[in-house]
Amino acid sequence: MDEIPNGLRIGLPGGRLFPRCQLPRYANFYYFGSPWARPFTNYQTSVLVSEQILLFLVFSPLLGGAIIAALNSGNQQWSKRIAFWTSMVPFVLSIVLYVQYLGLANTQGLADNGFVMFFSHNWFDIGGADINMTMALDGISIYLLLLTTLIFPISIYFSWGSVDKHPRAYYALLLLLEVGVLGFFVSLDMLLFYVFFEMVLIPMYFLIGIWGGKDRVYASLKFFLYTLIGSLLMLVGIIYLGAHVNFNHPDLLASRPDLTGAFFTTDYLLLTQYADITTTAEHWLFGAFALAFAVKVPLFPLHTWLPDAHVQAPTAGSVILAGVLLKMGSYGLVRFCLPLFPAASIEFAPYLCVLAVVGIIYGAMAAMVQKDIKKLVAYSSVSHLGFIVLGTFAMTTEALSGAIYQMIGHGLSTGGLFLLVGMIYDRRHTREIKDFQGIATQMPRFALIFMITVMASVGLPGLNGFVGEFLVLVGSFRSEVISGIFPILAATGVVIAAVYLLWMFRRVMFGKLDKDENRQLSDLNLREVGLMIPLIILMFLMGLYAKPFLKQIDLSSEALLHQVMEKGQHAGHTGHGGEVKAPEVTLVPAEAFRPEEAQP
């Protein structure tokens, strides 16, 4: 294995099994595998194996979707089996990567950019353009990856008993959707990220438009247009940003001599370090990116597509939409808006927090007057996701960690609520609250699981919803970027959420069982209980023992905020409270783990 000035070249002897690939030194990553003190052969092998796991995890559902599409129409039963077991492959691989991630993070710590795992391969070259297929994991993306790989098998397995119309196309689209979501959460190349971001539009559009309710065409078109318009502006921003990089910077030339003469790059890490844009350009670019992600969150007042999409989508579509698709918007704000445009993020943080707080209160008030259970849960998402935006732009480690924790917790509790609503709809074929009363005596298992999930969504201490909201509120009070009035107003949303969710629960579960249709309802079967058990376990685990989750999230949040605040201060921007101080963070560079003889 030969060392070269600009990085480490690895590959098995002769390149028989894997192509040689280059891990750039400028990225300051901890690479996969053994520490530098161990034999290079072991290191090489573990690096390459881990690379292939990450790549295969993202694209394995595509293989299953292709197999399903190739089946003839007489193999309808096989399509759902193939879809489920294919979706289990990323779940198992995500567990493997999570174990590796914990081992590396706990024994070696984080590099100064917060990432631990890394895969990069040249995508294509056009003249002086630098475009790579780059993927990585940190304490933020690893948990969203785990959430995604859990939600999809549950959604697919639920669909076994509820989807009879064009099942091959249905399951193939679900697997294609999973590829887009997984790829989005691990992408560190801006063009690759954009491809995955847009990829989810097509399958979700058809899932709502073909398998949705009576107004499915309107809802699917509204969803498609809202998201597409915002993302097109972001594409313009990506192109502009990639063309305005200081390729003559001495540090860049020293670490990446292969970029000598380059004029364009979509490398996320290069853009965060060497983008050369004016303050005005940064404001416009931040607006383009923030708009695209705010639509996806969705942030008030760009939320109007969400209730329609949820109500009209099939149950699995609603579970995936609430569980993981909405997290693409909030994750995009954290991963891309903050590091790429730190000064603009600090400057516009109060305005975005105003919209977040308005969304928290508005979503809660709108949910209170809904007659359809599914629409009530949809508006509750608008309220809960407002907490995530508030925590993101409060610019404190506690608030940002709480926002990320809330992303995961919301995916579990709201995804669980949509599952339960789908189960009762399959039996009763109505979602109107007035059509249910006193069904707790008829469906005791459903009542118990529904109560736990509702309490998790309310934010009851001991369940997952409490920790994230608590950290967001505490971190927002400590913020020097926004006023203390924001968390006070946001806290009213918690109170209102308890009112509308508990009121809905009481009207559905208790009272006189006076409708003949409700007397005929059957309780949850073992398959349905089995679908909810993983979610319930995680709700309690995240509420009672949050430390292992928050440990990794905090490390990545600190690394990210340190970068944002440092650049924001350098640009001369201050927030509500005057000078903005970067959080105290101790990060160890990757070079510290190399032996002295390996130092340049």
Residue-wise pLDDT for 150-205, tens only, equals: 999 999 999 887 777 888 888 999 999 999 999 999 998 889 999 999 999 999 99
pLDDT at residue 529, rounded to an integer = 93
pLDDT at residue 181, rounded to an integer = 94
Q: What is the mean pLDDT of residues 103-108?
A: 66
Q: How many CA atoms lie within 13 A of 369 on its CB side?
A: 4
SS3 assignment, position 549: helix
pLDDT at residue 138, rounded to an integer = 84
Q: What is the mean pLDDT of residues 427-431?
A: 86
More confident residue, 542 or 70: 542
Whether 340 shows a pLDDT value over 50: the answer reads yes
Whether 287 shows a pLDDT value over 60: the answer reads yes
Q: What is the mean pLDDT of residues 485-500?
A: 90
Q: What is the mean pLDDT of residues 516-535?
A: 89
| HEC per residue, 250-297 | HHHHHHCHHHCCCCEECEHHHHHHHECCCHHHHHHHHHHHHHHHHHHC
More confident residue, 377 or 103: 377
Whether 75 shows a pLDDT value over 60: the answer reads yes
Query: Which of 478, 556, 576 shows the shortest CA–CA distance to 111?
Result: 556
The DSSP code sequence of 56-123 is: HHHHHHHHHHHHHHHS-TT-HHHHHHHHHHHHHHHHHHHHHHHHHHHHHHHHH---TTSEEEEEEEEE
Q: Rounded distance, CA 433 to CA 505, Å?
A: 9
Q: Among 136-140, 288-292, 573-577, whose mean pLDDT is lowest?
A: 573-577
Whether 220 shows a pLDDT value over 70: the answer reads yes
pLDDT at residue 131, rounded to an integer = 80
Domain range list for the chain? 23-598
Whether 26 shows a pLDDT value over 80: the answer reads no
Whether 580 shows a pLDDT value over 70: the answer reads no
pLDDT at residue 93, rounded to an integer = 92
Express each pLDDT in 123-140 by its tens digit: 776 777 778 888 888 888
Whether 14 shows a pLDDT value over 60: the answer reads no
Where residue 117 falls among pLDDT bands split at 50, 70, 90?
A: low
Greatest pairwise CA separation for the chain in angstroms: 81
Express each pLDDT in 291-302 by its tens digit: 999 999 989 898
Q: Among 340-354, 434-448, 572-586, whose mean pLDDT is lowest?
A: 572-586
Q: Let me know how long the chain is.
A: 600
Rg, the chain, Cα only: 24
More confident residue, 574 or 26: 574
